[in-house]
Amino acid sequence: MACGICLPHCPTYLQSLNENESPRGRIALLRACAEGILPVSATLIAHIDHCLGCQACEAACPSGVPYGALLEDGRSLLLSDHPRGLQTRLYRALIQVTRAPRLIAYSYQLARLAATLKLLPFLGRRLGTALKDLPPRPLMRWRRPPLAKPGPADVSLFLGCTAGLDGEALDATIRILQALGQSVQIPPGQGCCGALAHHAGFTDIAAHLRRRNLGAFGHSTAPIIAIASGCTAALEKYDPTNEGTLPPVFDIHRFLVEKTAFERLTLAPLHQTLAVHEPCSLRNALKGGSYVYRLLERIPGARIVPSPNNGVCCGAAGDYFLREPRNAQRLGDAKAAALAQLRPDIVVSANIGCALHLSAALKRHRLSIPVVHPLVVLAQQLLPTPQPMLKCDHEDLSPH
């Protein structure tokens, strides 16, 4: 199909009006390359690399063309047929860090420090540009929660590779689930979902991470709960193989709405405006943006509004803000400018990468609007206040 309905939904096409920067154009390029009609060149690779993988085109396509899968297969093909140079090797090394989740938080802190000290030549121009405005994130140290009741757990919590950066959201999730009588387990040995590696075409790294998670979660029947929408979308794509299969995977917001009596919780009033940013993975891949609104609307006095232009990617797009910082910043700045007009008290986002990227954009626009996970807001309003969660060591996040 080549109808072009996807064109007005593609952020890179809207910026350039170049057919090669559109979903239809990229499919044509990859097809010509796969059939040997078009040689692989730096220009062709650039057009493919510029894609955010936001899947807005896929959501708009009346024929259901699986653009996301085509893009991932195409990137893998280009890497196998045309190995890149130093920049790709550096990028692969960065992706490899996701194999050791506890290193992510420390790497983040070191990268921010290097950017703050203006060690940009050492980091490289692109990476330095991407890192210099990122917000600080406290290092979280926490222990696994005790089971609330004897017997098998009701849910398994997926940490992902950014647990050290999003510990506040994990604590909030556990508090809310336990307040609803859900017994929570955190299986050891789990790791990154593999989304970053898969999107980049590093299928060997993605396969290793998939095997690790199948080993960690495959022995349990408890549904898996993920708090980052990008992780949920990746876990849902795990195909059953001879390595095993995963139990049902839920985005936390959908799970709370569909599988618990969330309406029984008592929430304190909050007389503020909350702007809901809808990550592309939640909006386009999971089709689950409505659940966030349904949860937040339970808070008495809160005004819940969509963040402007939710249909357009914020520019984070997994690791895109590291690979293509100029394009990413243009998109992030457009979001910040729109939020400057709206002036919410809080921005909520269900994906840690989007939250960091939006925070950086708001900082560039000198706006002191916090960007937090929706469940952090909900947990803060939870009544009566639960006992504080025990905090967990980073050692517990490493594979066993």
Tell me: the pLDDT tens digits for 280-323? 999 999 998 899 999 999 999 999 999 999 999 999 988 888 88
Residue 203 falls within a domain, yes or no? Answer: no
Instruction: Report the pLDDT value the prediction gives residue 232, as an integer from 0 to 100.
Output: 94
What pLDDT shows up at residue 248? 93
- State the pLDDT at residue 104: 73
Angle at 182 between CA 165 and CA 251, to 5 degrees: 50
Most confident among 78-92, 191-205, 296-310 (mean pLDDT): 296-310
**CA-wise closest residue to 166 among 349, 345, 331, 339:** 349
Structure tokens belonging to residue 148: 């609330």
Buried b (16+ CB within 10 A) or exposed e, 355-386: bbbbbbbbbeeeeebebbbbbbbbbbbbeeee
Query: What's the CA gap between 208 and 92, in Å, rounded?
Result: 14
Structural domain ending residue among the three candidates 81, 105, 134: 81
Whether the pLDDT of residue 3 is over 50: the answer is yes
The last residue of one of the domains, among 21, 49, 81, is: 81
What residues make up the domain containing 47? 7-81
> What tokens does 170 get?
């994990």
Answer yes or no: is pLDDT of 158 > 60: yes
Residue 226 has a CB neighbour count (10 Å cut-off) of 25
Beta bridge partners of 275: 305, 347
Lowest-pLDDT choice from 133-137, 200-204, 256-260: 133-137
Does residue 183 lie in a domain region? no
Question: Is 297 inside a domain boundary?
Answer: yes
What is the pLDDT at residue 177? 94
274 assigned to some structural domain: yes
Q: How much is the pLDDT for 124?
A: 55
Query: What gap in Å lies between CA 204 and CA 201, rounded to an integer?
Result: 9
In Å, what is the CA distance from 202 to each residue of 100, 193, 196, 304, 330? 17, 13, 9, 39, 27
Query: In the prediction, which pLDDT does 108 show?
Result: 72
Mean of per-residue pLDDT scores for the chain: 84
Residue 155 belongs to what H/E stretch?
A: strand 155-158
Domain boundary residue, one of 34, 56, 81: 81
Structure tokens at 218: 């495959």
Q: Which two tokens stand for residue 226?
A: 């993920």
**Which are the contacts of 35, defined by CB distance < 8 A and separation ≥ 6?**
none
Q: Is 187 among the domain residues?
A: no
Most confident of 73-87, 118-132, 152-166: 152-166
Strands 382-383 and 266-267: antiparallel
**What are the tens digits of pLDDT across the range 104-131?**
767 677 776 766 666 555 455 556 666 7
- Cα distance between residue 110 and residue 112, in whole Å: 5
DSSP, res 262: G
- What residue type is 121 in one-letter code? P
pLDDT number for residue 118: 63
**What pLDDT is recorded for position 137?**
67
Q: Tell me what the mean pLDDT of segment 68-75 comes to.
A: 88
Q: Is 225 a domain residue?
A: no
Separation between Cα atoms, residue 47 and residue 167, nearest integer Å: 36
- Asked whether residue 193 carries a pLDDT value surpassing 70, the answer given is yes
Q: What is the pLDDT of residues 212-270, one digit of tens each?
A: 999 899 888 999 999 999 999 999 988 766 667 889 999 999 999 999 999 999 999 99
Can you give the pLDDT at residue 396? 46
Residue 400: its pLDDT value, please?
Answer: 39
Q: Is residue 231 part of a domain?
A: no
Strand partners, 250: 225
Nearest by Cα to 68 from 8, 15, 23:
23
Report pLDDT for 78: 84
Q: How confident is the model at residue 393 (pLDDT cuts 50, 70, 90)?
A: very low
Domain count, the chain: 2
Distances (CA, A) of 4 to 13, 66, 68: 11, 15, 16
What count of other Cβ atoms lies within 10 Å of the Cβ of residue 81?
Answer: 11
331-382: pLDDT as tens digits: 999 999 999 999 999 999 999 999 999 999 999 999 999 999 999 999 999 9
Assess contact for 217 and 156: CB atoms under 8 A: yes
Domain presence at residue 38:
yes
Task: Give percent of the chain with pLDDT exceeding 90.
Answer: 48
Spatial CA neighbour of 169 closest among 311, 356, 332:
356
CATH of the domain at 354: 3.40.50.1860
C-alpha 92: how far from chain center:
19
